[in-house]
Amino acid sequence: MKPLIHLFHLSTGGVLAEEDQTPARRAQLGILAIATSLAMAAIWGVAAGSSVPALAAHNAYKLPLMLVLAAIGAVPVGMLAWKIVGVRQKARELLHGYALSVFLGCAVLLVLAPLVALYYLSSTAAGPLFAMGTVLLGLLVGCATFVRVVRARLREGEREEGSDWRPVVPGVVLMLAFVATLWQVVALFAPILPESTPFRGGIDDALVQP
């Protein structure tokens, strides 16, 4: 339980004790953040498919796979943006902040999963809108978390207030790359929600007009 408390503390702008800030310890926390995120995504997937038991069972493994693919797909372009804007710290700061942002974004999905299930079981009209809204909120929280965590780390390492803007660029790039990858991954793993949504067909549904 203590490592999870550390993750929430870090992802909300906190600072750990000196003995917990070694590269090895930070790597352990990053791995735990991703592993926990997969479990939280699976729970949200079950809630989103709760009105169709077979779909809920499939979502239990599809959502973690989708999260892994989308997260991996965004890393290369995020690391390139990290270097282009001239951040002098090592890329592990990017990966650590990324892991924490995924963790807190998925935590949003987890706490809203009961409401997603409730709306799906009680309202055919509001269920899909609420589910998609929780995903959007999770993405926004994740992006804000990345910028906050990395900015705090840069200030701690350099003590330069003027350099605070730099994590914004890779943060936005990461979010855009994550969303672009996730959009197509959703099309590959569809259906996720019982209803047909604008995202089920991927980019083709947005570009190809009837």
Q: Which two tokens stand for residue 50?
A: 């709760």
In single-letter form, the type of residue at position 81 comes to A
Sign of the CA dihedral running 23, 29, 32, 38: negative
Residue 43, Cβ neighbours under 10 Å: how many? Answer: 19
Say how many residues make up the chain.
210
pTM of the model: 0.84
Per residue of the chain (210 residues), what is the pLDDT tens digit? Answer: 777 887 887 787 777 766 667 778 888 888 999 999 999 999 999 999 888 889 999 999 999 999 999 999 989 998 888 888 877 777 787 888 889 999 999 999 999 999 999 988 888 778 888 888 999 999 889 888 888 887 777 666 555 445 456 667 877 888 889 888 988 888 888 888 887 776 666 666 656 655
Q: Which runs of consecutive H residues, i.e. helices, occur in 85-193? A: 92-122, 126-158, 168-189
Domain assignments of the chain as residue spans, ordered by start: 2-194
